[in-house]
Structures are given as C-alpha cells and as structure tokens.
A = this chain, B = another copy of it.
Amino acid sequence: MTHLRAHVLGAAAGGGLPQWNCGCRNCCAARDGTIPAASQSSVAFSANGSDWAVLNASPDIRYQIAASPPLHPTGPRESPIRSVVLTNGDIDHVVGLLTLREKQTFRLYMTSAIAEVLDENPIFRALDPKFVTREIVALGQNVEIADGLFAEMFVVPGKVPLYMEGETVDTELEGEQTVGVSLRAGDKQAFYLPGCAKVTEALADRMTGAELVFFDGTVWENEEMIRLGVGAKTGARMGHMSMAGERGSMAAFEPLGVARKIFVHMNNTNPVFDPTSPERKQVEASGWEVAFDGMEVEL
C-alpha cells in the first residue's frame, strides 16, 4: 500500500534557532537547552520510505541528513535522496545545494524564475551538470520527484529573494518566484507552503478539505521583530503572513476543513517555539501543530 511520508528536516526560518548573532529570548533558551533548537526550513517526502525528495535545501542540510537515518548513504558514495525541489530562491532554501556538490546524481526541480537566480551565481556550477540534472518545471505540471511521489507547483503570493530585491519590492507578487507544492503518492495528497504572503481565494479553494498542509509560520504577529528590537521589518515586508489576527493564517484556514495543519518555517522570534507559551497553546487550540526537527507524518 502506498503511503505519503513527510520527515521534517528543519522547522525554523532563515537564521535558524539559535541564530548565530541573536540574543532574543528564544535563541538564548535554545542555547541553554530550555527549548528545542530548530534548523532551517526543509521537509523530505517519500512514497516508499527508501527514495526521498528534499523540499528546499537549507544551509543546515549536512547536519539534517546526519540526524536522519533514512537519508544516510547506502553505499561508498550513494544517497537515497533522488531530488531536491525549490519553492523559492531564498538563502535558507538554496544554500544547501552547495553541500550536495559531491559528484552525486540527483534531480533539481524548480521554476524557470528560480533557475535564473541560480544561473546568475557561478558558485552553483559546483553542482556538476553531469550528475545534477536541472529540471525546469512549469506551474501546474505534474512531475515524479521520487519513486511513486508526484509533485505539482502552484503560484503563491510572495516576493523575490532579498539579495535580488530592487528599489521597490512587490511583497505579494504572484509569479514563479515563490511557489507552493502539492505532493501525491497514490491517493494521498499533502501541500507544502513554507512561504506565503496571503491566502488568496484561489489558494483557499485549493486547500479546502486537504488531508495535510505544511504552512508558513514565520511570524506570530506582523510587528514581532520590531517589538523585540531585533529587526526593522514586518512579516508582510518579508513576504510572510502572520499566524494571529483577523488577517492571519489561523483565521484564513478556519473555514477550509483541512484535516491536519502544521506550521513550518518559524522565525526564531516566534513565541510558538516555546512549548509553554500562551501563543503555542492558542495555536494548538485552533487545531494547528507546530513542526519540529525530526517530526514524522504519514498519510
């Protein structure tokens, strides 16, 4: 029987928990072991438990693989990772590609807009095309990303990567820069959206009645980083909707009847990282789960 398995490699947003230069409450608590640490945004999916696709290659991927026995090498230089799928060109989602550079065969799936970002950086030539085949995927196209595991990318409001921003930035751009992914194995389906600026009507329709959704949990509230004195940007400016509030993701998903809703890509400032926080309790009371490194989900 076909299953759809998800293995959360990293539950945190860019920077991770703890972030190298951050002394916020969560980062200090993660350093002293009061709350669990979390590595950067990535989830591995499989239909058979032996062939895996990694959605987004985080800078922490070497440690993430080392901590995940199903992803360990199966020979002298051999990996069960068949493909990497990118949902945008952000640093926390592409830098791990530079770790996967050791003459190892796998497929790299992405939109042409994301491929252009890689092409502009010769450092990604480290992925030798003799081993790593780049597959440009159109929105709506169905591709087999690992044995029995199919993916389709769809548009999600977002923005271009920070390092490609110009003078003005559209933070709710709907194009190929930021995508969500539908994953199917047999009759099982899951959605993965680590970055989303807004739940549009089309997106709400797509998610309605879903069995499993991994969704952008970057910030609890829009002004969180400013309030904590660690940054000048709102969640919206970073291209992420907040969890709480009338315009937040919890409210947006309330009427959609999704069976299992899991927040991923939490910024280190997000109070839900603390299992004892009132915000965490509120999230759980709303029927959501908060992902953690090593979390396993099976449909």
Contacts and interface: CB of A to CB of B under 8 A. Distances in A.
A61 B27 CA distance: 16
Contact of A231 (B22, B59, B100, B103): B103
Interface in A1-37: 15-16, 18-24, 27, 31, 37
Taking residues whose C-beta sits less than 8 angstroms from the other chain, chain A's interface range is 35 or more
Contact of A15 (B61, B74, B102, B229): B102
Given A23-B77, A95-B95, A123 B121 contact: yes
B123 A31 contact: no
B76 A230 contact: yes
Contacts of A126: 91, 162-163
Contacts of A102: 15, 19-22
Q: How many copies does the complex hold?
A: 2
Given A76-B228, A77-B230, A120-B122, 8 more contacts: A22-B102, A23-B72, A23-B76, A24-B76, A59-B62, A60-B63, A95-B99, A122-B163
Interface string A88-107: 00010011001111111000
A297 interface: no
A79 B20 contact: yes
5 contacts: A20-B73, A21-B100, A59-B62, A91-B101, A125-B163
Interface of A: 15-16, 18-24, 27, 31, 37, 59-63, 65-66, 72-79, 81, 91, 94-95, 98-104, 120-126, 162-164, 228-231
Given A104-B21, A163-B122, A163-B126, A31 B95 contact: no
Given A72-B31, A122-B120, A163-B122, A99 B62 contact: no
